[in-house]
Structure 1
Amino acid sequence: MRIRATVAAVSGALALSAFVVPAAQADDGSSDTSYRARAEQALSHRTVFRAAAVAPPAPDVSFSNFKVAKAVKVGTTNHVSTTATYTLTHGADIDITSDDFANGPFLYRGSSIENATNMLVGDYPATCTATSATTADCTGVIDIDPVEDYLANSDAGTWSGGGLALTYSPRGEKMQGGLGKILVQRTSKLTVNASPEPVKKGKTITVTGKLSRANWEDGKYHGYTGQPVKLQFRKAGSSTYSTVKTIKTNSTGNLSTTVKASVDGYFRYSFAGTSTTPAVNAAGDYVDVTS
């Protein structure tokens, strides 16, 4: 979502979290009528500024059976998306096929919608199939761009899922949070190099590598420090890796350890992941062991 949390002073003493909406989308009369622009605007209305005005009427809808992926990996510049499905329950007076109605899923970072520090929405509304006069099964896409959505590295971790419904004439908005959980993670990379190649049996093999992850704030990859990483080995002709030892990345994310050469095979590093960074395996590096 093209907004970031800021702190605004209200009545001199009161400071509450509020979202900043681009000027082209900030007013109700904005010329940008896309679903994304309207969704971002509606979500920004939950702030203290909205409390001082008359809120638009809330459509008679509710969301349930919300399902979303366990995690989504976000790199430095790439656009990614994740799909959410849910049940939409609505009043008999709402026509879900009308151009005056739209709904979709969103994600928010924080303990509640009111306390959210960032939100992510989709470029387009969800598609829904009616299952009764007042219920529908819906599928919506949440689009994530680390640049356009102003993701900070501190945004990595657990986000919550929500549902948003919009009416256009008359104007109305309804949002419901606490529908599910998902990890929004900084994409990780892991390399390995085993040398010398070839090597005589019984001699020392040095295995180096690096664990890095996306930095959403400068658009680069930086070493992930102090992380436990497993050195694994797969014998030639086998399909299974076994763990040789576990070491930690240094202050720049680099890895280095030694082993004795025994048989031909592949060495790799394997990282189990954290809540902010996904698991990753390096591609195996083959070593030819001679007698």
Structure 2
Amino acid sequence: MRIRATVAAVTGALALSAFAAPASQAADSAWFVQAQAAKAHAGQSVSSAKSALAADAAAADLGVTFSNLKVAKAVKVGTSAHVSTTVTYTLTHGANYDLTSDDFANGPYLYKGKFEAPDAVLFGYDAATCNATSTTTANCSGKIDIYPGEGDLINSDAGKWSAGALALQYSTGDVSDQGALGSTLVQRASQLTVNAAPEPVKKGKTVTVTGKLSRANWETNKYAGYATQKVVLQFRKKTSSTYTNVKGITSSSTGTLKTTTKATVDGYYRFTFAGTTTTPAVSAAGDYVDVK
């Protein structure tokens, strides 16, 4: 669930409402609304963001720090289904804080671009849960929730995101915000098809193998062809469990694939794609050809 840095002067109650979307998920999540508000002030200082949350209070840094953050190497996001990924970290706080208090919450987030003025931010719907390991430290676990069908991402968002964590006190608006704790790839989920023909085929004759490489388009919520990408045709004998490379080809401007090879023995043909920073690796299910 995300905010964008296109609104730079949201303050007070407006900040709390402007970034509560999607309202269907956020209406009952005080953590989600206030955490987003704290990061919604693109180009402003952290103290300005705090003041927006508590205009009548003397907002201050909570003195909370985060370390040992772990996040998945990549998060694959399709066109509509909700995607959730878990982030863990160590939280260090003053001995006077009660992590179980309803007035205190913390959680992880991902941000694209600069920490001080991110282009986009992804939060979890709920605050993290923490287990105390001492009077001043705790091991915490929180989620990042992504709803591509509700506009959480645009295509240019694919690629590297940085990880941060934020703690806040609801009653005062006090905030501790820390970035550069880790990184992950948020990727446009990929699909790959294959069809080998004719079936059956005479030994020594030509087999034509076609298919298509597609990836999620987060702006249309459909899959679209991935153009001019290197894909490898592979073959596995009927009696083997291992695929071997046959030849490399490049997808067309619409993502379609077409190549030929000679039939030798019964077996399975498939295409495989190694992936990029924006799109994960994928292999098609093998298509069997009977050689007569």
Deviations 1:15-62 (A, max 9, x none): xxxxx8753749xxx986521112111111464387668732121200
Deviations 1:191-234 (A, max 9, x none): 00000000000000000000000000111111100100000000
Deviations 1:231-256 (A, max 9, x none): 00000021100000000001110000
Q: Does 1:58 align with 2:61?
A: yes
State the TM-score, normalizing by the size of structure 1: 0.89
Q: Does 1:84 align with 2:87?
A: yes
Evaluate the alpha carbon distance shift between residue 58 and residue 46 of structure 1 in structure 2; reply closer, same or farther with a 3 A threshold: farther
Of 236-245 and 170-179, deviating more is 170-179
Deviations 1:248-280 (A, max 9, x none): 001110000000000000000000000000000
Give 1:134 deviation, angstroms: 0.2
Evaluate the alpha carbon distance shift between residue 51 and residue 87 of structure 1 in structure 2; reply closer, same or farther with a 3 A threshold: closer
Aligned pairs for 1:196-215 (under 5 A) are: 196-215=198-217
User: Over aligned residue pairs, what C-alpha RMSD do you find?
Assistant: 2.3
Give 1:148 deviation, angstroms: 3.1
Tell me if structure 2 keeps the 8 A contact 1:66–1:86.
yes
Gaps of 5+ in 2: 10-14, 52-58
Give 1:183 deviation, angstroms: 0.2
Evaluate the alpha carbon distance shift between residue 207 and residue 21 of structure 1 in structure 2; reply closer, same or farther with a 3 A threshold: farther
Tell me if structure 2 keeps the 8 A contact 1:76–1:146.
yes
Give 1:2 deviation, angstroms: 4.1
Aligned residues: 277
Give the ranges of 4+ consecutive aligned residues of structure 1 lying more than 2 Å apart after TM superposition: 1-5, 20-26, 30-34, 45-56, 147-150
State the TM-score, normalizing by the size of structure 2: 0.89
Give 1:115 deviation, angstroms: 2.8
Q: For residue 134 of structure 2, what is the aligned residue in structure 1?
A: 132
Counterpart-to-counterpart distance in 1, 2:64 and 2:137: 9
The AA in structure 2 aligned to 1:278 is P
Aligned partner of 1:37 among 22, 33, 47 = 33
The AA in structure 2 aligned to 1:105 is P
Tell me if structure 2 keeps the 8 A contact 1:204–1:259.
yes
Tell me if structure 1 keeps the 8 A contact 2:50–2:175.
no
Tell me if structure 2 keeps the 8 A contact 1:25–1:32.
no
Q: Which structure is higher in strand share? A: 1
Tell me if structure 1 keeps the 8 A contact 2:5–2:41.
no
Q: For residue 118 of structure 2, what is the aligned residue in structure 1?
A: 116
The AA in structure 1 aligned to 2:65 is S
Aligned pairs for 1:40-189 (under 5 A) are: 40-45=36-41, 47-48=43-44, 55=51, 56-110=59-113, 112-189=114-191
Of 215-224 and 35-44, deviating more is 35-44
Counterpart-to-counterpart distance in 2, 1:158 and 1:183: 5
Of 217-226 and 148-157, deviating more is 148-157
Aligned partner of 1:243 among 232, 242, 245 = 245
Evaluate the alpha carbon distance shift between residue 31 and residue 146 of structure 1 in structure 2; reply closer, same or farther with a 3 A threshold: closer
Tell me if structure 1 keeps the 8 A contact 2:20–2:32.
no
Tell me if structure 2 keeps the 8 A contact 1:24–1:31.
no
Percent identity, aligned pairs only?
Answer: 62
Tell me if structure 2 keeps the 8 A contact 1:21–1:44.
no
Q: For residue 6 of structure 1, what is the aligned residue in structure 2?
A: 6
The AA in structure 2 aligned to 1:92 is A
